[in-house]
Amino acid sequence: MTRVFNFSAGPATLPESVLRQAADEMLDWHGSGMSVMEMSHRGKEYMSIHAEAQSDLRELLAIPANYKVLFLQGGAIGQNAFVPMNLYRGKASADYVNTGEWSKKSITEARKYGIVNVVASSEPSGFTSIPKQDTWKLDPNAAYVHICSNETIGGMQYHWTPDMGDVPLVADMSSEILSKPIDVSCYGLIYCGAQKNIGPAGLTLVIVREDLIGQAMPITPSVFDLKQQSDNDSMLNTPPTYAIYIAGLVFKWLKKQGGLKAIEEHNRVKAALLYDYLDSQTFYSCPIAKDDRSLMNVPFKLKDESLDEAFLKGAKERGMLQLKGHRSVGGMRASIYNAMPKEGVQALVAYMKEFQKQHA
Ligand SMILES: *Cc1c(COP(=O)(O)O)cnc(C)c1O
pTM of the model: 0.98
DSSP per position, 21-76: HHHHTSS-STTSSS-GGGS-TTSHHHHHHHHHHHHHHHHHHT--TTEEEEEE-SHH
The confidence score (pLDDT) of residue 60 equals 98
Is the Cβ atom of 297 under 6 angstroms away from ligand 1?
no
Q: Which residue has the CA at smallest separation from atom 5 of ligand 1?
A: 76
Distance CA 269, CA 19 (A): 25
The closest residue, in CA terms, to atom 7 on ligand 1 is 75
Nearest-CA residue for atom 12 of ligand 1 = 174
pLDDT score of 349: 98
Tell me if 103 CB under 6 Å of ligand 1.
Answer: no
The predicted structure's pLDDT at residue 270:
98
Q: Cβ(172) to ligand 1 under 6 A?
A: yes
Encoded amino acid at 283, one letter: F
The pLDDT value given to residue 328: 86
* Ligand 1: residue whose CA is nearest its atom 8: 75
| CATH class of the 17-256 domain in this structure | alpha beta
Residue 131: phi, psi to the nearest 5?
-60, 135
Query: Is the distance from CB of 174 to CB of 196 less than 8 angstroms?
Result: yes
Q: Whole-angstrom Cα distance, residue 55 to residue 26?
A: 23
Contacts 24+ apart (CB under 8 A), 241-244: 241/36, 241/37, 241/39, 241/41, 241/46, 241/49, 241/50, 242/36, 242/37, 242/200, 243/194, 243/199, 243/200, 243/201, 243/202, 243/203, 244/49, 244/50, 244/53, 244/71, 244/203
Low-confidence ranges of the chain (pLDDT < 70): none
State if residue 76 touches ligand 1 by the CB under 6 angstroms criterion.
yes
Q: What pLDDT, on the 0 to 100 scale, is given for residue 119?
A: 98
**Would you give the distance in Å from CA 241 to the centre of its chain?**
20
CB 193 near ligand 1, within 6 Å: yes
Tell me how far CA of residue 297 lies from CA of 110, 164, 265, 276, 345, in angstroms.
Answer: 26, 26, 16, 15, 12
By annotation, the residues acting in catalysis are 102, 172, 196
Residue 15 near ligand 1, beta carbon < 6 Å:
no
* Residue boundaries of the structural domains of the chain: 17-256, 258-359
Task: Report the atom number in ligand 1 closest to the C-alpha of 77.
Answer: 9
Strand 169-172 to 189-193 pairing? parallel
CATH number of 258-359: 3.90.1150.10
Q: How far apart are CA 92 and CA 356, in angstroms?
A: 54
Span from the CA of 32 to the centroid of ligand 1 (angstroms): 35
Query: Which backbone phi and psi does 285 adopt, to 5 degrees?
Result: -150, 155
Residue nearest to atom 4 of ligand 1 (CA): 76
The pLDDT of residue 189: 98
Atom of ligand 1 nearest to the CA of 153: 15
**Per-residue model confidence (pLDDT) at position 329:** 87
Of 59, 30, 60, 69, nearest in space to 46 by CA: 30
Phi, psi of 164 (to 5 degrees): -105, 15
Q: Give yes or no on whether 17-256 and 258-359 have one common fold.
A: no
CB of 188 closer than 6 angstroms to any ligand 1 atom:
no
Cβ of 10 below 6 Å from ligand 1: yes
Element (H, E) at 244: helix 241-256
Task: Kindly give the number of the ligand 1 atom that is closest to the alpha carbon of 79.
Answer: 9
CA of 324 to the centre of ligand 1 (A): 18
What pLDDT sits at residue 211?
Answer: 98
